[in-house]
Amino acid sequence: MSIQQITPLQLQQKRTQQPDLKILDVREPHEFEFAHIVDSILIPLSLIPLKIEELDRDEDLVVLCHHGVRSMMACRFLAKEGFENLYNLAGGIDAWSVECDSTVPRY
């Protein structure tokens, strides 16, 4: 079970190397609507157990939330379910906005 922290700048670089990298946003729909990373998928934390089969256990998966707490909870759950290539976005969407994409609104 390996959950790695990834910084926004590391994620930005990883996306250039892996254009199809899966990014899972575990915030609520209204948060996602307000601010999100392009091409990320939304599955709120509370729905992950119900929608886990929509995710590929063998792919790299970057998980994010607002600041990194809910995403770490999601990562821990997914790791227990057999996911091995998990990355928690340190600082969440807020850090992404500050460090990589200022067009993403902060809240």
pLDDT band per the 50, 70, 90 thresholds, residue 34: very high
2: pLDDT strictly greater than 90: no
Task: Give the C-alpha distances (Å, rounded to integers) separating 18 from 14, 21, 22, 65.
Answer: 6, 5, 9, 21
Question: Domain locations in the chain?
Answer: 3-99
Find out whether 102 and 94 touch, Cβ atoms under 8 Å. no
Rounded CA-CA distance 42/47 in Å is: 10
Q: Which sequence positions are flagged as catalytic?
A: 65
Instruction: List, for residues 48-88, the tens digit of each pLDDT value.
Output: 999 999 999 999 999 999 999 999 999 999 999 999 999 99
pLDDT at residue 1 in the model: 57
Q: Where does the pLDDT of residue 91 fall: very low under 50, low under 70, confident under 90, or very high at 90 and above?
A: very high
Residues 6+ apart with CB under 8 A from 6: 14, 62, 87, 88, 89, 90
Is 47 a residue whose pLDDT tops 60?
yes
Q: What is the dihedral of CA 91, 71, 105, 55, to 10 degrees?
A: 130
CATH of domain 3-99: 3.40.250.10
